[in-house]
């Protein structure tokens, strides 16, 4: 029996409890400070996350591409180890933010409630949000602009296994993530190698291509001259000769 199975048997033999999302997390929307106020954006130091950050830098983020100034912050920053999950536009995409930060209005922040911090491993929450993200894609309000049904979102059942179980799940999934990254790197290396040899095999030096074109043109012209000479000797002064002349003339025009 695996270590995970042993932990589950020992620590939660009757199963894992699930809680509505809003009982475990503070749920708040991100926002965009006014672009009309330069004081909010000039020389900013506060991370402000957008979907571009996930696309460019992955799903565990400590800094953002764009920053805002402390003057742009309404109240408090969202604390480190919060989750951002897209509840509009690119619905279901999420990341673990390991720095105090802001994000735009496309994202909803999930921050562990103060009384739940010691019960929830941030990486476990991160991994389970892949399940939440898929659920979001199937629970959308499509009136006007597509967005997640937030009433259902707040009631989404989230598991709370004992902390040792969470950490073992994280350990296993971290291992698979590392293996996946190694596999992707290997596949990329093999693809680069394939492209190199493909191009090398299918690309001839320019001089060689010119010689091939010249040899082919010479062969084609020789065939044309032979055909023309035979036609003249056999078909001169006949109706067939005149038709042959028109045909060969059109061929010569195309070759020229």
Q: What is the mean pLDDT of each run of 10 residues along the chain (256 residues)?
A: 83 92 97 95 96 96 97 95 95 97 97 97 96 94 85 96 94 87 82 74 61 63 55 49 47 40
Domain count, the chain: 2
- Regarding whether 153 and 214 lie in a shared domain, the answer is no
Burial class (CB in 10 A: 0-12, 13-18, 19+), 61: buried
CA distance 140 to 121: 28
Asked if 227 and 168 sit in the same domain, the reply is no
- Report the alpha-carbon distance of residue 160 to residue 17 in Å, rounded: 6
pLDDT confidence of residue 211: 66
If asked whether residues 163 and 225 sit together in one domain, one would say no
Considering the domain boundaries, does residue 188 fall inside one? no
Note whether 155 and 28 are same-domain residues. Answer: yes
187 in a domain, yes or no? no
Question: Residue 150 falls within a domain, yes or no?
Answer: yes
Task: Please indicate, yes or no, if residue 198 is contained in any of the structural domains.
Answer: no
Q: What is the pLDDT of residue 223?
A: 57
Domain that holds residue 35: 3-173
Residue where a domain terminates, one of 173, 194, 219: 173
Give the domain-ending residue among 155, 173, 191.
173
Strand 66-68 to strand 46-49: parallel, antiparallel, or no bridges (unpaired)? Answer: antiparallel
User: Which pLDDT does position 220 carry in this prediction?
Assistant: 57
């Amino acid at each position: 029996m695996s270590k995970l199975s042993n932990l589950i048997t020992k620590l939660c033999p009757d199963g894992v409890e699930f809680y509505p999302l809003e009982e475990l997390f503070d749920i708040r929307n991100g926002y965009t400070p006014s672009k009309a106020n330069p004081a909010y954006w000039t020389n900013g130091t506060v991370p402000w996350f957008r979907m571009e950050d996930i696309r460019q830098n992955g799903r565990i983020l400590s800094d953002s591409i764009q920053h805002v100034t402390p003057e742009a912050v309404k109240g408090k920053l969202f604390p480190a180890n919060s989750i951002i999950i897209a509840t509009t536009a690119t619905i279901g995409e999420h990341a673990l933010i390991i720095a105090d930060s802001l994000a735009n209005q496309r994202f909803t922040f999930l921050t562990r409630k103060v009384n739940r911090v010691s019960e929830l491993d941030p990486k476990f929450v991160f991994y389970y949000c892949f399940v939440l993200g898929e659920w979001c894609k199937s629970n959308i309000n499509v009136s006007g602009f597509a967005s997640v049904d937030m009433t259902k979102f707040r009631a989404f059942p989230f598991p709370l296994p004992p902390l040792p179980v969470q950490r073992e799940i994280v350990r296993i999934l971290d291992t698979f993530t590392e293996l996946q990254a190694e596999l992707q790197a290997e596949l990329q290396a093999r693809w680069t190698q394939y492209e190199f040899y493909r191009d090398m095999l299918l690309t001839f030096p320019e001089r060689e291509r010119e010689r091939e074109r010249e040899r082919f043109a010479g062969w084609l012209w020789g065939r044309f001259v032979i055909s023309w000479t035979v036609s003249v000797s056999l078909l001169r002064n006949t109706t067939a000769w005149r038709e042959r002349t028109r045909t060969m003339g059109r061929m010569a025009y195309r070759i020229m």
